[in-house]
Amino acid sequence: MTSEPSIRPSESLRHVRYEIRGRLARRAHELERQGYEIVSLNIGNPAAFGFRTPETMRLAMIENMAAAEGYCHQKGIFPAREAVVMQQQARGVTGVTAEEVFIGNGVSELINLVLRALLDEGDEVLVPSPDYPLWTAATTLNSGRAVHYPCRPENGFVPDPEEVARLVTARTRAIVVINPNNPTGAVYPRAVLEALARLAERHNLVLFSDEIYDQMLYDGAEFVPMASLVHETLCATLSGLSKVYRACGYRVGWAVFSGRTRAAAEYLNAMDLLSSLRLCSNAPAQWAVQTALGGYQSIRDLVTPGGRLYESRRAIRSAVQGSRFLRLACPQGAMYAFIGVDTRELPDFDDQRFALDLLEQKHVLVAPGVSFNVPYRNHFRVTTLPDSATLQKVFERIEDLLAGYASAAKGPAADNVVAAATRFK
């Protein structure tokens, strides 16, 4: 009997990874189908933890449904784009009109579009490490090469602009900045952002600033819009409704171009072409943008003391402080914690093995650190979205698993001592 011929995927996907929804997530779904309750901390999806989109946004969408049944302009509806312009102006960004705003099906689609419009084969993009892995994947898919600049744990995951500068070559086309940062929660100081802006300007690089968590800030951390600092090159600010407004399923994001837009006319025309090819983005949800940006910013209630996100972050910090094994640069923004494991206590720790063991044995799903394009193997990311009581239970399970690793590393003799001590308590 001859074997059935297989259908091979494109070679362009060979080096594309997105482990946040990869093998571990598929195994979690299998376990759920078997009846196990899995605490899924791998994805920042507010609705999964009981957060609701503000009611005013839902009503705005419903009231304008009749106007959203056909295609809209490829860049998006004018009221949504104009609302984004007004937000940028309020943040000190000048020279932006609705013509420089592109609405997309979430920031995810726009990441792909802004890179596709820019890159030729072999062009390089400077991407943070750790990164939101879609930036690396989209660079690869669009024939580019992601060059990762380190955001080191010992520096609170804030990049050193001098290190970034040393990575610039003749093939470098752009720098990606993610601030507030996913996965680390770092919020970059103004001086660091200014240095990165000057670096981009010196080398005529496009500066892509991913600011989807711009209002998720804790303990007085200051968010500085990158576009307010970039003047002598092109800056693209990417943001949307998904996180701050808890509207992931609406799939509404935007890219705002500022700085030297006149010199980038051909590039912006390419963006217009790509936007036209997908016809338009989700029309009904665009009607929620004006209401979202111009209305009451309820996110502030969640990130201040007593607020749900603030207290969940506090629970994670407390659990790590009480742990023998865990270390944390406390997140100053966003909805994640990028947690390190002390390799002095567990020298053989491997983040992927840990994530699989935690899922199989403790029914908790996390994202191993290597998912975020880092060279080390002792970190993992959790979202801060669950309530503090749930997170406390999660970290009890994590500590129990790590204690088991430590006990196994000491061998049978140590286990006998522990057992004897337990019997004679």
Separation in Å, CA 333 to CA 305, 313, 414: 14, 10, 42
Return all residues near 257 (Cβ < 8 A) that are at least 6 apart: 96, 100, 101, 102, 234, 235, 236, 264, 268, 271
Residue range 226-234: mean pLDDT, rounded: 97
CA distance 291 to 208: 26
Q: Identify the CATH assignment for 55-294 out of 3.90.930.60, 3.40.50.720, 3.40.640.10, 3.20.10.10.
A: 3.40.640.10
What count of other Cβ atoms lies within 10 Å of the Cβ of residue 44?
A: 22
CA distance 316 to 174: 35
Rama region for 246: left / alpha / beta (φ>0; ψ in -120 to 50; rest):
left
CA distance 207 to 177: 7
CA distance 316 to 383: 10
Given this model, what pLDDT does residue 395 score? 98
Note the pLDDT tens digit of each residue in 103-147.
999 999 999 999 999 999 999 999 999 999 999 999 999 999 999
Note the pLDDT tens digit of each residue in 355-378.
999 999 999 999 999 999 999 999
Given this model, what pLDDT does residue 366 score? 96
| Portion of the chain with pLDDT greater than 70, in percent | 96
Rama region for 167: left / alpha / beta (φ>0; ψ in -120 to 50; rest):
alpha
Domain positions in the chain are 11-51+301-423, 55-294
CA distance 192 to 158: 8
pLDDT surpasses 90 at 331: yes
Given this model, what pLDDT does residue 324 score? 96
- Binning pLDDT at 50, 70 and 90, where does residue 1 land? low
Q: How are beta strands 39-40 and 145-150 bridged, if at all?
A: unpaired
Separation in Å, CA 421 to CA 134, 341, 407, 413, 424: 50, 27, 14, 13, 5
What ranges make up the beta strands (E) of 275-355?
326-328, 336-341
pLDDT surpasses 80 at 15: no
- Binning pLDDT at 50, 70 and 90, where does residue 2 land? low
- Binning pLDDT at 50, 70 and 90, where does residue 423 land? very low
Task: Give the class (CATH, top level) of 11-51+301-423.
Answer: alpha beta
In the Cβ-directed half-sphere of 335, how many Cα atoms lie within 13 Å?
30
Note the pLDDT tens digit of each residue in 117-128.
999 999 999 999
